[in-house]
Amino acid sequence: MPAHPVPEPSRATRPAAPPTLLARLGRSTGRHPLWWVLAWVVAALVSFAVAVGGVTGESLFDRLTSGEPRVPGQSQTAREVIQQVEPSLDTVMLQVDGAPLGDPRALEAAAVATGRITQLAGVVRVRSPLLSPQGLDDPAVRPLLAGGSPDRGRFVTIVDLAGGRADSELAATRTSVEAGLATVVEALPGATGSVGSYHHVIKAITGTIESDLVRGEGIALPLTFLVMVLVFGGFIAAGMPISGAVVSIGGALLSLFAFSHALDLDATVVNIVTLLGLGLSIDYGLLTVSRFREELSVGPGGTPTREQAVVAAERTVATAGRTVLFSGVTVAIALAGLLIFEAEIMRAIGLAGVSVVLVAMVVAVTLVPALAVLGSGRLSRRASRSVEDTGAFSRLAASVQRRPFVVIVGGLVALAALASPTLDMRLTASGTELLPVSAPQRAFFDTLRSDYPALAAPEVTVVARTSDTAAVRTALEPFEAAPGVTDLTVRPLGGEHQLAAFQVEGPPTSNEAQDLVTALSQLRPGFETWVTGQASGQIDFLDSMARGAPWAIGLVVLGTFVLLFLMTGSVVIPLKALLLNVISLGAALGVVVWVFQHGNLEGLLRFTSVGAVESMVPFLVLAFGFGLSMDYELFLLSRIVEEHEAGADNDRAVALGLQRTGRIITSAALLIIIVFAGFIAGDILIIKEMGTALVAAVLIDATIVRMLLVPATMTVLGRWNWWAPGPLRRLHTRYGLRH
């Protein structure tokens, strides 16, 4: 359908913006820009000093944890029973390679050094083949020897530390134990040793995340600055969104530090939330600076007066600021959906994400306009009507409007093809697999699993409430024949429970392990049982997420629909936007499955596939990706609505809206892709998956959806885009949000 040549009302004839709250905020920012900038500089310095500098005695990275997500269920119940009867001990392990186990003198010296470790304060038990009175031929020490034999010259020493002590005492004990283990290796000529523990894994993950964060921002910020120099044609304008992004990152880290005192924050939360804050800040800053320059161009040539800069700030915050607030509230609604889930890590990400979005919003409508006013002289040099009514994007809109049905069918087919890999998506919850294969702690535990299988934690564990060990064994023996099961042991767990451990081939969340958990969960042997282990925890987590998903989706859909209705006065546009976003997110998840589960691009992206996608990723992609998709939807829709309210008909409003936001959306998409690509370059697997998913979501949304499907569907629907039932029209007339 061709665009109708309805003339656009000139800016000079448009009515002045009403003195809304945002307009008043913009005027205040314009009149006192230096005070706003100084306030934000102080806030940023304090944020970084507290969250990263450790001025309070510890930094955010000192307070992070790591582990599989946990939710209420039989797996968690079983863990609590085990913990109550046999509190878990902090363990330090030593793997020795190349030891001269046939040299009696070396063995004696190493045994003496190992014996000294047993005398250290805080050490509960030391398990080592060197301490066996019967020597290395003792059957009891075979699990501690690689291959069950001393011939390989490799063995393990395990030191159990007493728990329930102050962190400083535990740290001192670890240091003493590791020093003692080093003397054991020194007593064995030619031997090498490596130390591993859960504590070391946490340090490795948090340390890697910290370095990934620095690396990601080190890649993203300079590249985005260079791109914005090209977009704005100057260093001053380009630096404004970057300055806002840096301040937002400080606020993000400070909010995470605060939440870490109320919640156990998983280490991956930091990069996920910071990534979002950085991307949104750059998007919002780009939109704000572009609109300020456009508003500044209305005045006469030459250096703008102070009042002209103030008016430009007022109009910018009233228009672009309105879009920023709409977008921010929409992203916050999407992240608020995470608060409904039972998993604490999802709630933590939701809370932290909402707080980061709020910081990015406030920065965009205060700090960035204030910087723009201070730099208005430089901005005005290139402000000669930066957005015209015709151009590449209006021509694209006209081309789409000539063949809308072809565009719609082609776009949907492309999205369906991208989404197709999700049909066989498998989920997992990795531990050390989050680290790259080359990481010392990943290598330590990979070697432990392959060379000392008897020491590996059982893939599936059953806790039975009964004192009859024989009855438990009788009930569970049929499951020894289940696919993948290699061993079953049953022992008493205190006086009232029994503990049964199944060893299963393959990874802890393999199909065999999950099938075994499902079968054991249906067992009714006459006494109460609970199944735990990584596979069981994974099943409980997904069941919990499935229970919360309808409520979370309902909250996000309802909140977004209401917000878009208040902005557009239409019920058709919100429904279409929601539908297109769901389809594009499905395509983004398909890309993640194709890359990470199927193992494509392993060399390029530097990862080793675990044959599945991390269990949190789909839910986080739906929350974060939905918010980012609506970000661009609002950039485009707000301008289309603005032109439609100014008198343009449907097709003309779509063409003008696309022309005036196409460059911004394209630039914003390119910048946010750079941001997320910086995190794909990191080493933590889940961060790579999130970065890849969001790059795919932004790329798909800013091209296929926003540039093609949105104008095509709006052309087909015509005046029906703006339809709403009579009662809702009257409601919008009274309460709708307008420019």
Per the structure block, which two tokens stand in for 354?
A: 């909402």
Per the structure block, which two tokens stand in for 560?
A: 């977004």
pLDDT exceeds 80 at position 414: yes
For residue 364, what is the enclosing H or E element? helix 344-365
What pLDDT score was predicted for residue 116?
93
Average of per-residue pLDDT across 50-54: 82
pLDDT tier for residue 508 given thresholds of 50, 70 and 90: confident
Q: Which of 404, 409, 413 is nearest to 718 (CA)?
A: 404
Single-letter amino acid code for the residue at 579: L
pLDDT exceeds 90 at position 185: yes
- Give start and end residues of each alpha helix (H) in 646-684: 650-680
- Tell me the C-alpha distance between 510 and 521, whole Å: 17
Cα separations in angstroms, 572 against 635, 640, 717: 18, 14, 9
pLDDT exceeds 70 at position 683: yes
pLDDT exceeds 80 at position 285: yes
Q: Any bridge partners for residue 530, and if so which?
A: 463
What pLDDT score was predicted for residue 39?
93
Average of per-residue pLDDT across 367-390: 73
Tens digits of residue pLDDT in 522-544: 888 889 999 998 888 888 888 88
What pLDDT score was predicted for residue 385?
44
What pLDDT score was predicted for residue 195?
93
Determine how β-strand 460-464 pairs with β-strand 529-532.
antiparallel
Average of per-residue pLDDT across 645-651: 78
Burial class (CB in 10 A: 0-12, 13-18, 19+), 258: middle
What pLDDT score was predicted for residue 300?
52
pLDDT tier for residue 646 given thresholds of 50, 70 and 90: confident
Q: Which residue has the tokens 């991390």?
A: 614
CB 509 within 8 A of CB 537: no
Q: Which of 424, 426, 423, 418 is nearest to 583 (CA)?
A: 418
Average of per-residue pLDDT across 363-379: 87
Average of per-residue pLDDT across 667-688: 82
Average of per-residue pLDDT across 292-301: 70
What pLDDT score was predicted for residue 8?
40
Average of per-residue pLDDT across 127-141: 88
Cα separations in angstroms, 281 against 21, 147, 274, 564: 22, 55, 10, 21
Is the pLDDT higher at 506 or at 5?
Answer: 506
pLDDT exceeds 80 at position 307: yes
Domains of the chain: 15-58+204-386 (1.20.1640.10), 88-196 (3.30.70.2740), 395-429+534-739 (1.20.1640.10), 458-532 (3.30.70.330)
Per the structure block, which two tokens stand in for 650?
A: 């449907």
What pLDDT score was predicted for residue 191?
92
pLDDT tier for residue 182 given thresholds of 50, 70 and 90: very high
What pLDDT score was predicted for residue 382?
57
What pLDDT score was predicted for residue 297?
66
pLDDT tier for residue 388 given thresholds of 50, 70 and 90: low
Q: What is the mean pLDDT of the chain?
A: 83
Average of per-residue pLDDT across 580-585: 88
109-117, long-range: CB < 8 A, 24+ apart? 109/187, 109/188, 110/184, 110/187, 110/188, 112/187, 113/180, 113/183, 113/184, 113/186, 113/187, 114/157, 114/180, 114/184, 116/180, 116/183, 117/159, 117/177, 117/180, 117/181, 117/184
What pLDDT score was predicted for residue 6?
38
CB 343 within 8 A of CB 67: no
CB 96 within 8 A of CB 155: yes
What pLDDT score was predicted for residue 298?
55
Burial class (CB in 10 A: 0-12, 13-18, 19+), 719: exposed
Q: Which of 65-69, 112-116, 277-281 has the highest mean pLDDT?
A: 112-116
pLDDT tier for residue 366 given thresholds of 50, 70 and 90: very high
Tens digits of residue pLDDT in 216-235: 777 777 887 788 787 776 77
pLDDT exceeds 70 at position 1: no
Least confident of 11-20, 155-164, 165-174, 534-543: 11-20
pLDDT exceeds 60 at position 442: yes
What pLDDT score was predicted for residue 464?
92
- Tell me the C-alpha distance between 420 and 4, whole Å: 39
pLDDT exceeds 50 at position 166: yes
Single-letter amino acid code for the residue at 607: F
Is the pLDDT higher at 456 or at 653?
Answer: 653
pLDDT exceeds 60 at position 63: yes
Region of 73 please: left (phi>0), alpha (psi -120 to 50) or beta.
Answer: left
What pLDDT score was predicted for residue 278?
78
Single-letter amino acid code for the residue at 505: E
pLDDT exceeds 90 at position 419: yes
pLDDT exceeds 60 at position 343: yes
pLDDT exceeds 90 at position 735: no
